[in-house]
Amino acid sequence: MQMVNQRIPARLWLLIGYAAASAALFAAPLYLSDFRLNLLAKCLAFAIVALGLDLIWGYTGILSLGHGVFFGLGGYAMAMYLKLEASGGKLPDFMEWSGLSGLPAFWKPFGSFGFAFAAGILIPALLALLLGYVTFRNRIKGVYFTILTQALVIIATTLLIGQQAYTGGTNGVTGYSKVLGYSISDPATKQAMYLVTVALLIAAFILCRFLVKSRFGKVLRAIRDGENRVRFIGYNPAHYQMTAFAISGGLAGLAGMLFVLHVGIISPSMMGIVPSVEMVLWVAIGGRGTMIGAALGALLMNWGKSEISAYYPDAWLFFMGALFVVVVVFMPSGVAGLVSRIRFRKRKVTNHEEGVIRNPAV
């Protein structure tokens, strides 16, 4: 009974912390400038990627260096809608420059916002499911799976650059002006898109927390800690790995769509190997295996990148590299893991002191 009473306040404080953080995010338009609000919105979109990546890496033990592809596919899906909205039914400018005389058939459905939004989630999820089906069923894992995800990045970026008439090539797709008939440059529209981003981040966080706390999440952690033992007791790890990878890819696609709405451009360079590695760094520095750590890692790293690069443009990469080395050597569980260890030590000391008081002979 005493143990239950000790746990209730901790959970209550956790809920209060989540509620306070959510309230602060929703109230950000009241105390941030338009520039800072747009920067925060971009960081929150990246936090959704980190949540999905933590689901597959932190809880399932599978390292993916190809999440930039899923992020980019979601971004291109939304960009295609925005480009058609801006062109007013006319052929996009980069297609005219490339000599096309008509809109390609696969572009036409993206004139609908609903179709583009659904495609931005489903296409990355289905691609992740297909890749997972090929690899996990054949028990390809570890460094071999990581190499395959890097190969996927190279294939995707090469294809997008080579098909310039349909994808905009290295320049990507840009030049948006409206979303659902509202001007993107209007401050009211920007605030509305920011609030939508906050709501979707909270929904993604709740979804991931529900998954990792359910039996599904317990199986994922069991696969991470001992895949052969999970297979021995009757579970098929490939099914759980494919499902987790597909959900992770869908979340990355959602983040890509939000990123395009806030930044106004998507190009192959934003879905290459370097962005994919940066996504892994967000989770590693924040603390993999802790959803809140992954989200905070993405938020703090990208906010810090913007602030530091504004004053020291050439020093950011050195700072990020040094930070990663420090985290790996001194904080292998990330910032969230460090906080948990401090709390555990304080609780241990408190319990010891209470035991001495109750039993002075100890």
- pLDDT tens track for 63-90: 999 999 999 999 999 999 999 998 877 8
The predicted-structure confidence for 205-216, as pLDDT tens digits, reads as follows 999 999 999 999
Residue 131: per-residue pLDDT: 94
CA distance linking residue 147 with residue 142, whole number of Å:
9
| pTM exceeding 0.85 | yes
Strand partners, 265: 174
Residues near 42 by Cβ (< 8 Å), separated by ≥ 6? 259, 262, 263, 302
CA torsion, ordered 331, 303, 79, 254, to nearest 10 deg: 40
CA distance 277 to 68: 9
Distance CA 302, CA 44 (A): 9
Backbone angles phi, psi at 178, to 5 degrees: -140, 155
d(CA 132, CA 120): 19
Contact 250, 124 (CB under 8 A): yes
Q: CA dist 57 to 53, 174, 224, 337, Å?
A: 6, 32, 9, 16
How does strand 265-266 pair with strand 182-183?
unpaired
pLDDT band at 3 (very low <50, low <70, confident <90, very high): very low
More confident residue, 9 or 260: 260
Instruction: Tell me what pLDDT residue 73 has.
Output: 95
pLDDT over threshold 60, residue 278: yes
Which of the 8 DSSP states describes residue 92?
A: P
Question: Exposed (0-12), middle (13-18) or buried (19+): which is 357, by Cβ within 10 Å?
Answer: exposed
Which residues lie across from 173 on neighbouring strands? 266
Query: Is 19 exposed, middle or buried, given 0-12, 13-18 or 19+ CB atoms closer than 10 A?
Result: exposed
Q: For the chain, how big is the Rg over CA atoms in Å?
A: 22
At 287-309, the pLDDT tens digits run 888 888 889 989 988 888 887 77
Helices (H), the chain: 2-26, 28-31, 34-57, 67-87, 93-97, 113-136, 143-162, 164-167, 187-213, 215-232, 237-263, 273-286, 291-311, 316-330, 334-358
Contact 153, 268 (CB under 8 A): no
CA distance 247 to 132: 11
Strand ranges (E), the chain? 173-174, 178-179, 182-183, 265-266
Residues 244, 74, 113, CA angle at the centre, nearest 5°? 120
User: 48 with 261: CB under 8 angstroms?
Assistant: no
Question: Considering only CA atoms, which of 281, 268, 106 is closest in space to residue 172?
Answer: 268
Integer CA distances (angstroms), 249 to 8, 90, 125, 254, in order:
35, 32, 5, 9
Q: What pLDDT shows up at residue 268? A: 92
- Please give the mean pLDDT across all residues of the chain: 86
Mean pLDDT, residues 182-206? 93
Q: Smallest Cα–Cα separation from 133: which of 245, 20, 261, 267?
A: 245
Residues 6+ apart with CB under 8 A from 329: none
Amino acid at 166: Y
- Pair 157, 271: CB distance under 8 Å: yes
